[in-house]
Structures are given as structure tokens and as C-alpha cells.
Amino acid sequence: MKKTILILALVTATGSLFAQKKTTTSATVAFDASTAIDNLPKAENKTVIGVIDTKTGAVQFEANVKNFAFSNPTIQEHFNGERWFNSNTFPTFTFKGAIANPSAVNFAKDGSYTANVEGTLTIKGKDQPVKTPATFVVKGGNVTASANFTINLADYGISGAPIDGGKVAKEPKITVNAEFK
């Protein structure tokens, strides 16, 4: 009986260690549209949902737009407003993609790997392709991923005087960090 329980426990532990799909609900995404004349338009969302399929290399993220925390209340209001990201009508940013060269990452072996991630970023209901190098650190069955890229606000129908006047970057920097378990 004791042997059976031990085997079952081992199988469960091994199963979770090598589970094909690993998730997180605490990925962080930083949005930085600051410029030389205004350092306010930047924020971080620390409750982004993500999943990675270590067998196929598929990667997906969902962010609650309203959970981007700015230091300045007026900038946060503008960010969520109709002319910017319109979070009342479009409450999530989503990314659906995959590792373009999955053989570059060995999820079964601890180590640090660099690979290209390609997919579709949906903001304000508009889909745009995104291609970025990403770093994957595999340690004890967990995967930590990080990536940096820029988006073009005009591609998502976002424009206006603050952007034209150089107070908000036309191409904000996006930084993603996720620890999948």
C-alpha cells in the first residue's frame, strides 16, 4: 500500500514537472511611451495571464488593460480613454503566437536559450503581427521568458496632439517577463 502511494506521488510530481502547458497569472508587461520631454507615460501591469506549450512552442498572453498602473492619474485616465486604448470597450490586450524556431529551446534541460517569437498582438480590436527575440530560462521544470519590442501606436489607430507634439512616443517600448509553472 505504501509503495502504491509512493509511486502515485512520484507520477504526479513528475507529471507536473514535465507538464506540456505551463501557465502564469503574474506575468509583468511594462509599457514605456516616455520621451525626452515627458517621462510620465509609462506603466506596468503585473497580473498578465500567460501560457506556454513546451511541446509545440505556442505562447499566449492576456492583459487586463485597466490594470496598467501609472504614477500619474491624468496619464492613466488618458491611457484608458476612448482616444487611446479605450479600455471600457476593449478590456484586454492579447497576444497569440509561437516560438518560430522551437528547436532552439530544450525545455527538458536546464539552461538559457534565445529564440524568435512570432504572433499577433490584438489591441483595440486591431490585429498586428509581432516578431521579437525572446530569452527562455529553463530551471527545475519552470520556464522564465523575457522579451522586448516596440509597437507602433498608429497601427492600432492611436494618434493625437500629445504624440505629434513629442510628449508620447510614437513607438512605445514593451517589456515582457513571465515565470511559467
Tell me whether residue 24 or residue 86 sits nearer to other proteins (CB atom). Answer: 24
Stretch that binds other proteins, among 2-10, 45-53, 97-105, 133-141 (CB under 8 A): 45-53
Taking CB under 8 A as the criterion, the residue among 19, 34, 62, 162 binding other proteins is 62
91 forms part of the interface with other proteins (CB under 8 A): yes
Q: Which of residues 132-151 bind other proteins (CB under 8 A)?
A: none
What is the nearest approach in angstroms of other proteins to the Cβ of residue 26?
4
The answer to whether 115 and 104 are in contact (CB under 8 A) is yes
**DSSP codes of every residue in 27-69:** EEEEEE--BTTB---EEEEEEEEEEEETTT-EEEEEEEGGG-E
Question: Which cell numbers in the block locate residue 2?
Answer: 505504501
Partners of residue 112 on adjacent β-strands: 137
- Point out which residues pair with 118 in neighbouring strands: 98, 131
Q: Which residues would be at the binding site for other proteins (CB under 8 A)?
A: 23-28, 38, 40, 45-47, 49-51, 60, 62, 64, 66-74, 91-92, 94, 177, 179
